Amino acid sequence: MNQVQKLLIIGFVWPEPNSSAAGGRMMQLISLFKEQGFSITYASPAQDSDFMVDLQEFGVDKKSIELNNSNFDIFVKELNPTVVLFDRFMMEEQFGWRVAENCSDALRVLDTEDLHCLRIARQKAFKEKRLFNTNDLFSEEVAKREIASILRCDLSLMISEFEMELLESVFKIDKVLLYYLPFLLEPVDSAEIPGLPSFEQRKDFVFIGNFLHEPNWNAVQYLKETIWPLIKRQLPEAVLNVYGAYPSQKVLQLHQPKEGFLIMGRANEAQEVVKSARVVLAPLRFGAGIKGKFLEAMQCGTPSVTTFIGSESMHGDLPWNGFITDDAGDFANVAVRLYQNKLIWLIAQQNGMKIINQRYLKKLFEADFSKKIELLQTDLQKHRLTNFMGAMLQHHTLKSTKYMSRWIEEKNK
């Protein structure tokens, strides 16, 4: 293609790679498109935040946009992007019809982050003290919105193989609309990581995770009430440092220095915090996607203990970099073993590095992804013709969402 490739990213928030895995993921996608020669504009209706990255530093144009405002139509028509990337389905709902109407030839790509309907249905099942069943997804309103968004787009990026399989088997989504693109990392080797602390140089347990994310808050409560007392019984001197952006008053109230349970708030340098800890604890009881906190732990050579949902879709057939268990007593026991036994700890550390090097290397995905985008652009009309459900949804969305949005815009005047 001879024209300059232009990518418009419509972001749910401005990227904060130090606050959440989603922010890190977005910066990886920006880097991927940059290396393919795209000129990039990042637009969002979100308020600026103190912790957002300076997009200009990365050669990305920044544009504030408004919901239900036809100024976006003028902006997108003038920009005339060749590819539009929606950051989560909510952005496709708000702006997808405007993109389709004003730039019909632009390739529309959805970055799902994780399947929101899966996370919400699992959370509901957990709160109702019952086992999650995939049939639960059909009653979720979010599922109807999210699946409609996936169908309206030309391609949806998935970070979890489990969720791809779920979309194909439960929702019967055609696999040509889905593309597996996990977190994209550089190779790791414990011998080559500068200043990587040894087993003896590390101390304490650590939890790290954004508190705006409900699974993280629930995991910290579970640690405090159930697992930590069991660990303390075996290791009276043990300390757990709990880090995370946006802690609420409820989170801060869990700070108990006498119990070695410390709420530390936002980590200025997350990697330094994880590197200096001996073991990461994250007993996640519901959630979806793959978890950035564990990949960060692997990059820092820090073993972890988690649940089956925590490790879901992350390690394939490879052994975990620590232990996986859903039982609280077992969780405490293996956490103590990992903390005390250097040999087990070193094996776990190597396992984590193998997982990164065999499953998450950027070079494993970048060429194929570039080819996929190029192929879709070359044959876009044919691709859309075979996606009748998507075309039908696009047709009805244009009618309903368009007029609702126009009505809101008039009302706001």
User: Which tens digit of pLDDT belongs to each residue from 293-350?
Assistant: 999 999 999 999 999 999 999 999 999 999 999 999 999 999 999 999 999 999 999 9
DSSP for 199-266, written as a single string: TTT--SEEEE--TTSHHHHHHHHHIIIIIHHHHHHH-TT--EEEE-SS--HHHHTT-BGGGTEEEEES
Query: Rounded to two decimals, what is the model's pTM?
Result: 0.93
Euclidean distance between CA atoms 9 and 346, whole angstroms: 41
Say if CB 141 and CB 116 are below 8 A apart: no
Average pLDDT (360-364) is 96
Query: Model confidence at 165, in pLDDT bands (50, 70, 90)?
Result: very high
User: Which tens digit of pLDDT belongs to each residue from 240-276?
Assistant: 999 998 999 999 999 999 999 999 999 988 899 999 9
CA torsion sign for 43, 44, 48, 53 is negative
Average pLDDT (210-229) is 96
**pLDDT value at residue 183:** 96
Burial tier of 402 (Cβ tally within 10 Å: 0-12, 13-18, 19+): middle
| pLDDT greater than 50 at residue 37 | yes
Percent of the chain with pLDDT over 70: 100
Helix (H, G, I), strand (E, B) or coil at 93: helix
Domains of the chain: 6-184+362-412 (3.40.50.2000), 205-359 (3.40.50.2000)
Q: 3-state SS of the chain: helix, strand, coil percent to 5?
A: 50, 15, 35
Q: Which residues pair with 346 in a beta bridge?
A: none
**Which pair of tokens denotes residue 111?**
């970055």
**pLDDT value at residue 180:** 98
| pLDDT greater than 90 at residue 411 | no
